[in-house]
Amino acid sequence: MAEVFNWQINRTMSYPYEEARPKKQAAAVFDTNKCIACQTCTLACKTCWTSGKGQEYMLWNNVETKPWGSYPLAWDVEILSRIEPGSWDAQGTYRGRTIFESAPAGSTAQGWMPSDLDYAYPNKGEDETSAPISPETYTLELPHDIWFFYLPRICNHCTYPGCLQACPRQSIYKRPEDGIVLLDQSMCRGYRACMEACPYKKVFYNHVTRVSEKCVMCYPAVEEGVLPRCMRNCIGKIRTFGFVSTPENVREDNPVDFLVHVRKAGLPLYPQLGLEPNIYYIPPVHVSSTPFLTMLFGPGVSHAVEAYQAAMAGDDPELRAVLLLSLATDLIVHSFEIRGDKVVGFDENRDEIVRVPLREPIMIRPEFDAAVSAYRKNVT
Amino acid sequence: MSEARSDVRPDGAVTESGRPRPTRRRVIAGGVLAGAGIAGGTLLATRDRGPAVGTTVRARRVHGTLPVDDPTAGAWGQTGSVLVELERQATTTPMKTRGKGVDHVEVEALHDGTSIAFRLQWDDPERDSDGAGVDVWRDACAVLLARSHADEAQRLMGTADEAASILHWKADWQRDIDEGFQDVEAHFPNAAYGFYPPLVGVDRTARAADYTAADATEWLPALAAGNPLAPATRTSPVEKIRAHGYGTAASLPTQNARGKGEWDDGRWRVVLARPLARTDSDEVHINPGADAGFAVAVWRGDEDDGGSRKSLAKVLLRLEVAP
């Protein structure tokens, strides 16, 4: 095992390969506050990549309801129960064991293998709240308010992928140009070590070809500067796609860096597992269980919620501007700049690709439309 | 062994110095006819003795057809099979840490001057031949061939400098051949699906082979990428592989191995065969009259064996190929 630095847990950790970061790391920030679980992302991916025979219950993108939802069943509870409880110290350092540091004898990571049935209920727990809702039990005397939120998930294209390190034949590789993790379909022999090792359970088994498959982050699109399909089709415009830097190389005009490093509003999913995942989440502001959110997103939850609330309240126009850029274009925004009352997004060559008003102009029309002799139901 | 220089006829009779000799079955039958007391003693003695543990297997020459498709043919089991000791793989990760594995495999070999065939037998209480399930694992076995039996490093899937040649028999492939390709419906009998996009015109449940017929293999990504394991059409349950160490197994360009596996009453009997001569440049060539190295490995599906989670021969074995 090599010693590598994982900035999300603020310490070095053991990993089977030496640290080898890509030139750029594809990443995205998902705003859980805006997700409505319409599953358009799920279908956008499904119809593009996994509609073949043998892929029936294969969802590279899924949206689950937390706290009860999970696909495959109990994926997070299963891995958490297999590593010893850990804690975060005041400096944001994880004091516990990652999946690599918890590896049982004869293996390189702690893991588990789902069953066919675990994939058969992708909407299990949908819209179920954290506590029962009924006149008898709905009371503020509960430990926290009743809540749920939606968690859209794709492959995290981790910096230290569990799948990649587990494959005994290097069929999985991380692209040096953009950090996208791919599974070579011509090389895989269906050992499923990757499936067992990925704690997010985002590698799948094709029942017909009998080899494994995973999210490709729509790399043909990304290579052309276009967003992945699950993001392009997002109804709620919750996804900001781009490239994330390491903390020492942060570029403040990079939307993803700004959300993750500058405002620290975007947080990794289960950072304590040690993979340095590259899909980040703005935690839900309405969930009163900080311990639950900390378990999912690490110790920065309270700060992230406050930062997001400040932006929504108009106290942080810059953060609000970056959030407004989210999916304002199908193209990848590499940098942004606020010019007057608009935020401008640029591509990799610093050419303008989108311009969004910081506040949508509002026009109030008379209630009665004389031209058609009718009353308007909506006057704004 | 006294019959080490014996040859075997296709009908199973052993010859020594050109003189016909009764088979083991005939010895037992003869004993029974000779008298109950003697017969019982003969039978018990024969069973108790069984194959001896060894590290050398002699591939005897048969005159006639090599029984490559029949693990119970009369030619098998007539001449000194060897009990090969196995150990759980613990050299590379993932290691075999689940289950007790397989301790012994009974191995014998025959050749006809053109091809060589091995028969492996081992006890396995379950027949695991499902390759379609996420969390189910198939039974399998393999014979590794190395140029020299003196190069112990070859036992672990060959070395960087010298490739090992491997015959890999898979229980799910055998089932695909015996019963037809085990498609989604075979694993999920109650499966229901509206339609598969490129196969809308297919007026029955779409089959994997329909994608090839419709020139739409991109819906089966591994097939489209040329993965030799992906086709739903199989002609042999044995894959020919070359390897330069752990993690390097790759199908050889020429797939001309044959074989057949049968599970009966808690025991697998599997034949794996290939031409003696190499058909690909980095394949091990087997010469009649010369020695080679070999090893065997067994995977137990009921113990989640797969990939490097397997039981394999403790040492590199000697293969004596009769002239």
Give the per-residue pLDDT at B191.
86
With a cut of 90, say whether residue B35 has pLDDT above it. Answer: no
pLDDT tens column, A308-367: 999 999 999 999 999 999 999 999 999 999 999 999 999 999 999 999 999 988 899 999
Mutate to test the interface with A, among B176, B199, B211, B227 (most CBs of A within 10 A): B227
pLDDT tens column, B289-322: 999 999 999 999 999 999 999 999 999 999 999 9
Determine contact: A220 vs chain B, CB below 8 A: no
Pairwise CB contact (< 8 Å): B249 & A189 = yes
Amino acid code (one letter) for B156: L
Return d(Cα A112, Cα B177) in angstroms, integer: 31
- For the segment B195-206, the average pLDDT, to the nearest whole number, is 78
Give the per-residue pLDDT at A288.
86
Determine contact: A65 vs chain B, CB below 8 A: no
Q: How far is A172 from chain B (nearest CA, A)?
A: 12
Distances in Å between the Cα of A15 and the Cα atoms of A19, A34, A165, B96 are 8, 35, 8, 21
Q: To the nearest 10°, report the CA torsion of B303, A194, A53, B230.
A: -80
SS3 call for A166: helix
Place of tokens 């350092």: A93
Give the per-residue pLDDT at A135.
65
Give the per-residue pLDDT at A120.
94
What percent of chain B is predicted at pLDDT more than 70? 84
Give the per-residue pLDDT at B31.
33
Are A302 and A210 a contacting pair, CB within 8 Å?
Answer: no
A106, closest residue in chain B (CA to CA): B95
Are A100 and A1 a contacting pair, CB within 8 Å?
Answer: yes
SS3 call for A26: strand
With a cut of 70, say whether residue B46 has pLDDT above it. Answer: no
SS3 call for A159: coil
What percent of chain A is predicted at pLDDT more than 70? 97
- Would the CA dihedral through B187, B189, B190, B195 be positive or negative? positive
Give the per-residue pLDDT at B25.
33
Tokens of A310: 């400040």
- For the segment B235-243, the average pLDDT, to the nearest whole number, is 97
Q: CB within 8 A of A339, min separation 6: which ones?
A: none
- Nearest CB partner across the interface for A53, out of B133, B206, B307: B206
φ/ψ (deg, to 5) at A329: -145, 160
With a cut of 80, say whether residue A143 has pLDDT above it. Answer: no
Q: How many CB pairs under 8 A join A and B?
A: 128
- Nearest CB partner across the interface for A52, out of B219, B227, B247: B219
Helix residue spans in A245-300 (DSSP H): 255-257, 290-297
Give the per-residue pLDDT at B14.
37
State CA A194 to chain mean position distance. 20
Give the per-residue pLDDT at A132.
74
B306, closest residue in chain A (CA to CA): A191
Q: How far is A51 from chain B (nearest CA, A)?
A: 7
Tokens of B112: 């006809």
Give the per-residue pLDDT at A136.
63
Pairwise CB contact (< 8 Å): B225 & A114 = no
Q: What is the pTM of this model?
A: 0.90
Distances in Å between the Cα of A344 and the Cα atoms of A100, A254, B171 are 42, 12, 60
Give the per-residue pLDDT at B32.
33
The alpha carbons of chain A give a radius of gyration, in whole angstroms, of: 22
Q: How far is A208 from chain B (nearest CA, A)?
A: 6
- For the segment B173-194, the average pLDDT, to the nearest whole number, is 92
Mutate to test the interface with A, among B87, B89, B134, B202 (most CBs of A within 10 A): B134
Mutate to test the interface with A, among B87, B91, B92, B93 (most CBs of A within 10 A): B93
